[in-house]
Structures are given as C-alpha cells and as structure tokens.
Structure 1
C-alpha cells in the first residue's frame, strides 16, 4: 500500500531520535515539570547527588546492552530552555521525550543505544526494480529497530522524588494532548497515556505520546522515568519501522535492564 510523503519524511529523518521526537508531523513536544511517581519504595530518603564523573561511570556503554550499539546521542540533548510546551504543565513529559531530565539535577549525562540488525542481502532495499510500495515496505523493515536515548540525572535532597512526581503529574494533566516547540520548530501530541512500567528502581512512570499525522495515522513515542535513590534514569525509545508498519513497540527492555543493573 502506498504511504504518504509524511511517513517517508519521518523515515529519512531518522538519523537522530531527538530530532524525530521534535519534527513537525513526526512526533510531538511538550512542556514543564509536575508529577508523582509510584513504586516499591517511594518514601525512601534521597542520598547526596552523584557527580557528573560518577554518572558517566554508571551510564550504559558499548558492550553493556546485547545486540545494541551504544554511543553519544546524535545531535546532542537540547538545553531545556529551548524546549517549551504550550501548556507549561506538560513540559516534564515533552522534555522526557527529548532526553531531558525533570527539575534541576546537580549533574546529568546521556547515551544513545541503537538496536543492531543484520543488513539485508541483495537489493532488498534498492529502489531499482521495486515498485514504490514495495520499496517503502523494504525500507520500513530495514528501519524496524529501537533507538533509545538514556539520560541519568542526580539530585540533592528530595529532588529525584520531586522530579519523578513532576513527570507523573504531567502525564495525567496532559492526557488530552499538548503542543510544543524546540528552537522554533513546532509539533503536537494529540494524547498522552500512562503505560505499564518496567518495575525497576524504587519508583517509576512509563507513558506514550501520540501524534496524529493525518494520512499516516498515529505516530507514538514511548518514554519511562525511573528513580534509583537520588538518581533518575530517563528512557525514550523510537522505532521508525514500527511506526511505518503500525506495529506496536515499547521502551527498549534490554536497555532498561542493562542500565538498571549498573545502578544497583
């Protein structure tokens, strides 16, 4: 079936998970801190914030996640001052989707984990000899892989608990959707919904934001924020191939598992 240029644009823009999250018609944006998190030990007192050097030792690295390539975030994580939502209550959600930790962490660091797949053989993804629809199907299959941005952020006092609460509150407040902007580029989520979290850490909240891309249907983006003591782990996963084929995907379980193991 022939797909519209909107999906093709999203596919070719897949160089950076962050740019995809913010591109008009390919994702959404949001705004602000508010929230509440539930979990196994939500009342556990927070410890002193870890330093940037300590976080860099704890965040996932190449070799930590089976079947994934781990490295720097392509394009970098934007400064939170440049990521704004039309409704400021939604900023914690929007910022999580762009790899930004909530609140004011004492230190933070980020990595990108890209699922590795075997390259197709022959001319499976070559335009020559393929009809438009078949080429797009082949392209979609080649891009059916998870790209996950992980951000670790440390906080003093109860900052981690308050940051998680801000995200949780924003998920509820912004269920009906919201608009957002980064560096002049605008986007819109039509709805936000809480999802089942991974169950790691002391408390967590997982959620999805959905963009209505017209003829291309809905394009979902998934995120989860997990508290490990005074540290928050923010995960955002995007899968362009799954979006194109309307296949369900979630925050990458192998990435969450690997990162949680390093934070124990």
Structure 2
C-alpha cells in the first residue's frame, strides 16, 4: 500500500465510522480465549419473575459524565443506529452479535438505551485545519470509544438472550455478512475470549472484519447480565485500524456500568 499512513487512517476511519453507525464498522481479526464468565445463573428464579424496566428507566442507569474517571460520556445519538431494522445479517444466529456491537438490545425486547464512553485524553491539537499535520490527524483518531447498550426483559428473557449470544459466538465463528442501509461488510471470524466479567452471566467475544480489501481490524465486545438487565460493550479505536490491532473493552467502564445495574 503506497498511501501515507495519515491518508490510510482517514480513509479507514471514514469506512469504520460509517459502518459503526450502522453497527458493522471494524470488527476484526484475532479471536481469543474462552467464553468469559458465563455463569450458570444462581438468580434464575428471581430473574424469571422480574419485570422489564422501561427505556426511560434504563436511560437513568447508563453511565453519566463524571462517573468513570478518565472517560467522557456522550449520548451516542449521532453514532448509534436507531433500531434493529438498520442492521441485517445473513445468518439469524448472528443477529444478537450484530445488535450487541451496535448498542442495540441483543434479545427480544423494546426496552433499550445506549450511549458512548470515550477515553478523555488531554489535547493541545491545532485549532486551525491549516495547522494540521499527519501526526495530528493520526492522534485525533487515537481514542478508545466504547459503545454501551442497556436492555431489559420480562421473565427469563434476559437469560434466553445470553444463551442466544453465547450460541451465536459458536455458530458464527466462520464469520457472517452484514448489511446496513445499503452498506455491506464482512465479519470474517468470531471467537470467544476472556472479558472483564461480572454480573450474573458474562460472554466476551472478538470479531475480525474485512476492511474493504485493506486488511482486517479486530474488535472486542462483552455482554453481561445482571438480573433481567443486559449491558453490552463494544470498543473501537480508529487509529488502531492501521495496525490491525484490537482495543480491549476498558475494565473500568464495564465495572462502573455493571455496578449501576439493579
């Protein structure tokens, strides 16, 4: 590839931002360990009697600015897809994975909320476009951003959803195709791995996504259940696309969010 790294970053980031808004973005290449902390639910009977929280109640449980040191919280309204209808796969078993990485409810519920949590790094970047150089451009994209989704379920819906996610990691290990508002991408590999864990059940996985012939990028996701509420986490770093390396879901973000769940 003869393009400069800055040009390649801009191009790849544009591709990633577009797909991310629809969910596919840049998933990636090296899968990892085992399926995380998937515990056999000690609270299954209690969860089966639980009532789903409303979207408004879930919004109040999302992390807020100032609750995680070193991170900024934003609504995610401009980045996240609005509904599951915007995200389609070629395998039904892979739908929960695609939805989870878009901060959408991975299971059958209408109660959901999401936002984004980004590393808050100090910046003395130039204020004028004319002052930007290649290093400035690369640095601007070098931010870890985590898409966080909360969803709530009636009865044992949350437990069934966790099983669907776990089953999807296995069923979709060879990859799947994604289509969002006319844009297509290909997840080439899905693998279970060890995540932060917590809650009553946890599943972590990585995805390798083909970057339109420019190699692959690795993305990491975690899905955690606490009672009848499920939290999903999917972390990206646009600058990392150029190296093919993935960015782990920050443990501080996961732990802070799970601690807020009822």
**TM-score, reference length from structure 1:** 0.82
CA contact (8 A) 1:42 1:203 kept: no
Aligned counterpart in structure 2 of residue 201 of structure 1, from 199, 202, 221: 199
Counterpart of 2:122 in structure 1 is 118
Q: Which residue of 2 aligns with 1:96?
A: 100
Would the alpha carbon gap of residues 249 and 76 (structure 1) be closer, same or farther in structure 2, given more than 3 Å must change? closer
Separation in 2, partners of 1:9, 1:129 = 17
Gaps (5+ residues) in structure 2? Answer: 29-34
What is residue 19 of structure 1 aligned with on the other side?
A: 21
Query: 1:231-250 maps to which residues of 2 (within 5 A)?
Result: 231-250=229-248
| Contact preservation (8 Å) 1:202, 1:227 | yes
CA shift in 2, pair 1:129/1:56, >3 Å: closer
Question: Cα offset for 1:6?
Answer: 5.4
The 5-angstrom pairing of residues 1-264 of structure 1 reads: 2-3=4-5, 7-12=9-14, 18-19=20-21, 21-23=23-25, 26-27=26-27, 38-39=38-39, 41=41, 44-45=44-45, 46=47, 47-73=50-76, 74-120=78-124, 135=134, 138-213=136-211, 216-263=214-261
> What is the number of equivalent residue pairs in this alignment?
250
Calculate the aligned-residue CA RMSD, in Å. 3.0
> Shift in Å at residue 152 of structure 1?
0.8
Counterpart of 2:31?
none
The alpha-carbon deviation at position 237 of structure 1 amounts to 1.0
- CA deviation vs aligned residue, 1:209-233 (integer Å, no higher than 9, x gap): 1113366422112211100000000
List, as ranges, runs of 4+ consecutive aligned residues in structure 1 with deviation greater than 6 Å: 125-129
Inter-CA distance 19–106: structure 2 relative to 1 (3 Å threshold): closer
Unaligned runs of 5+ in 1: 29-34
1:185-221 CA-to-partner distances (Å, cap 9, x unmatched) read 1111110111112121000101111113366422112
Alpha-carbon offset, residue 111 of structure 1: 1.2
